[in-house]
Chain A
Amino acid sequence: MIDKKEIIPEDILDSIFRRIDEVERDLHSYITILKEEAYDQAKIIRGRLEKGEDLPLGGIPIAIKDIICTKGVETTCASKILKGFYPPYDATVVNRVKKAGAIIIGKTNLDEFAMGSSTENSAFGPTRNPWCLERVPGGSSGGSAAAVAAGETILSLGSDTGGSVRQPASFCGIVGLKPTYGLVSRYGLIAYASSLDQIGPMTKDVKDCALLLQVIAGKDDMDSTSLNVSLPNYLDACEAGDLRGIKLGIPKEYISEALDPSVAKVVEEAKRAFERLGAKICEISLPHTEYALPTYYIIAPAEASSNLARYDGVQYGLRIKGESLREMYLETRTNGFGDEVKRRIMIGTYVLSAGYYDAFYLKALKVRRLVKMDFDEAFKVVDYILTPTSPTPAFRIGEKVEDPLLMYLSDIFTVPVNLAGIPAISINGGFSQEGLPIGIQIMGRALDEFGLLKVASAFERETELHAYRPYGR
C-alpha cells in the first residue's frame, strides 16, 4: 500500500500509536517508546520513497528487543545495572533495518539479560499476554511477541538463546524464527551466551518474517562468527504451492504422556494439515533429547558468567560507590542484577570452577556434540522436524517464578536447536480450549531458512490460523 502511495508512513504510525495508547497500559510490551523520533523518521522515509528509492521496509514500524544496541537510545537489557546506558553505536541488525527504511518505534521488554521464559524477570515489571492478561507472554522476548500480537507494532526483533524467540511467539500466536547460528550478525546484541545467541524476526505472518530475515541476514565484518553465504530470495519461499516430496519427521521423544493434551491435539491436527499438503510424515528418534536441557543450563550460564563479568560499575551503567574497588564491584553487581541473573552467574561460575569443570562443563560440551549428532542423523532421513514449540500454552503470571527448574522446563523443546546451531521456526498451530494460542515448531538443516519458510507458509495458507488476533483484530 505504501508502494502504491495509498498510505504514507505517518498514517501507519498514527494507527500503531493509537493502538499503543489503547493497550500498552495493560500489556507493558515496551520499556521505551520513541514516538517523536518515529515521526521524525517517517518524514525522512516518506521523502526517500517519494524520490523513488527502493526501500524493502520503507515506512514499516519495528520494535527492537531492549538487549539490542540502538545508537543514542537507552538500552537496558531490562536490568537496573544498565539503566541510563545510551550506546554510541547501532547493532548491525538495527543498522540494516534502518537502511531498509524501517521506523524504530520502541525498545521492548524482556527477561533481564534474556534470562527467563516468561518476561517476569524484568527490572521494569512484567509484560502480559494479550490473549489473557493473567498469563505470561513467554520469554525472554515477551515484549516483542506481545507487541506484534496486539498490533502495537508490525515487525519486531527478538533474540533466541534457548528458545527466546520461538516460545513467546508460540504463547502469543505469532511467527518467530531462530536463524542458523551465524546467519544474522550478533554485533551489538548484548551477549548472554555467545555460542547460542541468535537474533530472529518476530512477525504476524510468514511473509513478513521472510521480508525481515532478508534484510537482517548476511555476512558482517563486525562479527567474526557471521557466515559468508549467498542468500536466496526468502520471499520466493512464500509462493510455494504444496509440499509434495517433502519428508517431515516427528521425534518420538517430544511426544510423551507428559505433554499438555491441548498441545498434543494441536500437533496431531498440524500433522494432518501437512499430510493434506502432500508432505510425508514419519516418526524419528532424537535419542539425546532428555539430556539437552541440563546441557543447556550448564553451557548458557557458564558463558553468561563470563560475559556478565564486565558489569562492574567501572565503564558504564550503574555504579554504587564503595571504599575500595572490590567493594564497588560487589555493591554494584549485588544491587544491579536481579535474582535470576545472579542465580545463573553463580551456576556458571560454579560449573567452570576448579574441581567441577570436567564433571559439569566439559561433560556438557560432549553431550552437546551428541545432541548435534542426533540432528545430523535425523536429517539424513527427513527434510524437516515437526515438534511442539512449548509443552504447554502460556502459563499464569507468578505460577513458576519460585521454582527455577520448573521454569527451565518451558524451554525443553527449543534448546536442542540452539545447541546444534540449526534454524527453527514457530508458527501458530491452533488454540487451547481457553482460546490460548499454541505454537508448532519446524526445525531444518543448517542454512535452510528458505525451506523452513516454505513449509511454514504452506501451513499458514492451509490453516489460516495466523489471521486470529487477540482483541478481535
Chain B
Amino acid sequence: MRVTMEDVEHVMKLANLDLKGEEKEKMLKHFSRILDYFTKLQELDTTQIEPLSHVIEESTPLREDEVREGLDQEDVLKMAPEREFGYIKVPRIVE
C-alpha cells in the first residue's frame, strides 16, 4: 500500500506528534510495511458479518446517580506539572 510523506505528516498533526528528519523517514518506512500487512484482511468477504468491538456485548450498566466523594483537590494538584492559586496552570489559550 502506497503511503506518502503527506499522509504521515497529516497523521502526525492528528496525533499531536512532531517527528522530524530521520524519525519521520523511519516512520514512513514502517508505516508502509505495517499497512501492507493489514491489507491481508481484504481477502475475506465480511459483508454479512456484524462488527465486534467488545466481547461483552450487553449494554453498559449504569450506576445510581448518587453523590460520591471525589479525589481530594490537593491530591489532584500534587500531580499537576504546574499549579497556581489552586488551579492547574497551562499556557494562554485565548489571545
For window 49-95 of B, CB contacts with A under 8 Å fall at 49-56, 60-61, 63, 71-72, 75-76, 78-82, 88, 90-93
Main secondary structure of the interface of A (DSSP, over half): helix
Would B31 and A316 count as touching, CB distance under 8 A?
A: no
Would A182 and B11 count as touching, CB distance under 8 A?
A: no
Chain B CB within 8 A of A317 CB: yes
For window 153-212 of A, CB contacts with B under 8 Å fall at 181-182, 195
Would B16 and A314 count as touching, CB distance under 8 A?
A: no
Chain B CB within 8 A of A450 CB: no
Per-residue B-contact encoding for A359-392, CB less than 8 Å = 1, 0 else: 1101111111110100000000000000000000
A345's partner among B15, B35, B54, B93 (CB-CB below 8 A) is B15
Give the docked Cα–Cα distance between A349 and B31 (Å): 12
For window 348-365 of A, CB contacts with B under 8 Å fall at 349-351, 353, 359-360, 362-365
Residues of A in contact with B, size category: 35 or more
Would B51 and A342 count as touching, CB distance under 8 A?
A: no
B37's partner among A297, A325, A368 (CB-CB below 8 A) is A297
B17's partner among A316, A321, A323, A330 (CB-CB below 8 A) is A330
A353's partner among B11, B54, B82 (CB-CB below 8 A) is B11
Min CB distance A270 to B, Å, is 28
Chain B CB within 8 A of A315 CB: yes
Which of B16, B76, B80, B92 has the largest count of A CB atoms less than 10 A from its CB? Answer: B16
* A/B pair count, beta carbons within 8 Å: 159
Residues of B in contact with A, size category: 35 or more
Which B residue sits closest to A342, measured CB to CB? Answer: B17
Would A294 and B54 count as touching, CB distance under 8 A?
A: no
Chain B CB within 8 A of A120 CB: no
A368 with B51: in contact, given A88-B75, A318-B81, A325-B90 (CB under 8 Å)? yes
A329's partner among B16, B35, B78 (CB-CB below 8 A) is B16
For window 90-148 of A, CB contacts with B under 8 Å fall at none
Min CB distance A424 to B, Å, is 14
Chain A CB within 8 A of B30 CB: yes
Per-residue A-contact encoding for B16-53, CB less than 8 Å = 1, 0 else: 11110001001100110111011011111010011111
Would B55 and A325 count as touching, CB distance under 8 A?
A: no
Would B52 and A319 count as touching, CB distance under 8 A?
A: no
Would B51 and A331 count as touching, CB distance under 8 A?
A: no
Give the docked Cα–Cα distance between A297 and B62 (Å): 31
Would B11 and A316 count as touching, CB distance under 8 A?
A: no
Give the docked Cα–Cα distance between A329 and B38 (Å): 30
Which of A85, A372, A404 has the largest count of B CB atoms less than 10 A from its CB? Answer: A404
For window 287-339 of A, CB contacts with B under 8 Å fall at 288, 290-291, 294-295, 297-298, 305, 309, 312-319, 321-331, 333-334, 337, 339
B12's partner among A317, A346, A351, A362 (CB-CB below 8 A) is A346
Would A368 and B30 count as touching, CB distance under 8 A?
A: no
Would B38 and A360 count as touching, CB distance under 8 A?
A: yes
Chain B CB within 8 A of A233 CB: no
Which B residue sits closest to A302, measured CB to CB? Answer: B53
Which B residue sits closest to A409, measured CB to CB? Answer: B37
Chain B CB within 8 A of A221 CB: yes
B52's partner among A221, A318, A326, A365 (CB-CB below 8 A) is A365
Would A314 and B30 count as touching, CB distance under 8 A?
A: no
Give the docked Cα–Cα distance between A322 and B76 (Å): 23
Min CB distance A465 to B, Å, is 32
Min CB distance A404 to B, Å, is 6
Min CB distance B11 to A, Å, is 5
Would A182 and B56 count as touching, CB distance under 8 A?
A: yes
Give the B-binding residues of A (Cβ under 8 A): 85-86, 88-89, 181-182, 195, 221, 224-225, 227, 288, 290-291, 294-295, 297-298, 305, 309, 312-319, 321-331, 333-334, 337, 339, 342-343, 345-347, 349-351, 353, 359-360, 362-370, 372, 404-405, 420-421
Give the A-binding residues of B (Cβ under 8 A): 7-8, 10-12, 14-19, 23, 26-27, 30-31, 33-35, 37-38, 40-44, 46, 49-56, 60-61, 63, 71-72, 75-76, 78-82, 88, 90-93
For the complex with contacts A339-B23, A349-B15, 14 further pairs of A-B residues with Cβ separation under 8 Å are A182-B56, A195-B54, A221-B63, A316-B79, A319-B82, A328-B90, A329-B16, A337-B17, A343-B31, A351-B38, A353-B11, A362-B51, A364-B41, A420-B55
8 tightest CB-CB pairs across the interface, nearest first? Answer: A421-B55, A365-B51, A319-B81, A369-B52, A366-B46, A316-B79, A88-B75, A330-B18
